[in-house]
Each structure stands twice: as structure tokens, then as C-alpha cells.
């Protein structure tokens, strides 16, 4: 059971991390939103004029951060639980802020909010295992 928690968390973090890393890179390469068919008008009312900075944040925080957290989970590192809590919370907050700034309703927002919440819960489970 304990092994399954670490593996599930690691797989989830790698899935989130690789997707965020690649998406962030595409947003930085195409800051006009064309890579995802997102018009710049989506950013009206936000502090951003294009998708470069959101892409950079996505790439580093949700991308590289979750990839690193996944490695910690697979290695059953003592910081794996903290990393799951931190990056799971970060993803939930990311989606909440995104919906607040540009609106919601896309199924991917719901999916990643749920995945962030699951990552957060598994992070707490790992913390319990490590104590």
C-alpha cells in the first residue's frame, strides 16, 4: 500500500510536470497564443499582455517543479510528502487564479484542478507514512 502511494504520486507528478513543461515552452515560443489557439483577448483584465510570462511560470513551477517532486516520490525521499503538498497546492492555486483572471469552464481546468487536489492529498498521505 505504501509503495502504491509513492508510485501513484510520482506518476501523477510526472504527468503534470511534463505536460506543464512542454506547454510552458510552447507558450514562450508562441506568446501570441497561436500554439493553443488562445487569442490574446483572453488576457484582457489580467496583468499579462501575452502568454510569455504565464508560459515561463508554467514551465518552471508546475513543469520543472512537479518533475522534481515526482523524482522525490519515486525515490521515497523524506521531502516527497512536502513536495506533493507544495506543488499540489500550487496547481490548485494556479487554476483558481487562472479562472479568476481569464474565466473558466474548460474541461482541462477542471481536470488539472482535480489532479492538483489529488496530488495534495497524496502528499499528506506520504507525510503520514514518513512519520
Higher per-residue confidence, 131 vs 42: 42
94, 119 contact by CB (below 8 A): no
Reported as a single tens digit per residue, the pLDDT across 62-103 is 999 999 999 999 999 999 999 999 999 999 999 999 898 888
User: In this predicted model, what pLDDT tens digit does every residue of 27-48 receive, in sequence order?
Assistant: 999 999 999 999 999 898 889 9
Dist CA 61 CA 48 (whole Å): 17
Name the more confident of 105 and 88.
88
The number of CA neighbours under 13 Å toward the Cβ of 33 is 12
Q: How far apart are CA 48 and CA 45, in angstroms?
A: 8
What mean pLDDT is predicted for residues 101-130?
93
Q: Is 81 helix (H, G, I), strand (E, B) or coil?
A: helix
CA 89 to chain centre: 9
In this predicted structure, the answer to whether residue 4 has a pLDDT above a threshold of 90 is yes
Per-residue pLDDT reduced to its tens digit, 8-18 = 999 999 999 99
pTM above 0.85, yes or no: yes
115, three cell numbers: 489532479
Amino acid at each position: 500500500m505504501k509503495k502504491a502511494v509513492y508510485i501513484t504520486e510520482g506518476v501523477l507528478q510526472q504527468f503534470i510536470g511534463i505536460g506543464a513543461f512542454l506547454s510552458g515552452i510552447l507558450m514562450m515560443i508562441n506568446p501570441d497564443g497561436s500554439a493553443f489557439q488562445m487569442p490574446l483577448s483572453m488576457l484582457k483584465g489580467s496583468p499579462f499582455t501575452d502568454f510569455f510570462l504565464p508560459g515561463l511560470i508554467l514551465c518552471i513551477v508546475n513543469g520543472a517543479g512537479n518533475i522534481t517532486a515526482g523524482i522525490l516520490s519515486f525515490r521515497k525521499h523524506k521531502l516527497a510528502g512536502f513536495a506533493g503538498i507544495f506543488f499540489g497546492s500550487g496547481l490548485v492555486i494556479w487554476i483558481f487564479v487562472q479562472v479568476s483572471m481569464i474565466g473558466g469552464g474548460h474541461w482541462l481546468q477542471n481536470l488539472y484542478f482535480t489532479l492538483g487536489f489529488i496530488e495534495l492529498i497524496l502528499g499528506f498521505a506520504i507525510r503520514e507514512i514518513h512519520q
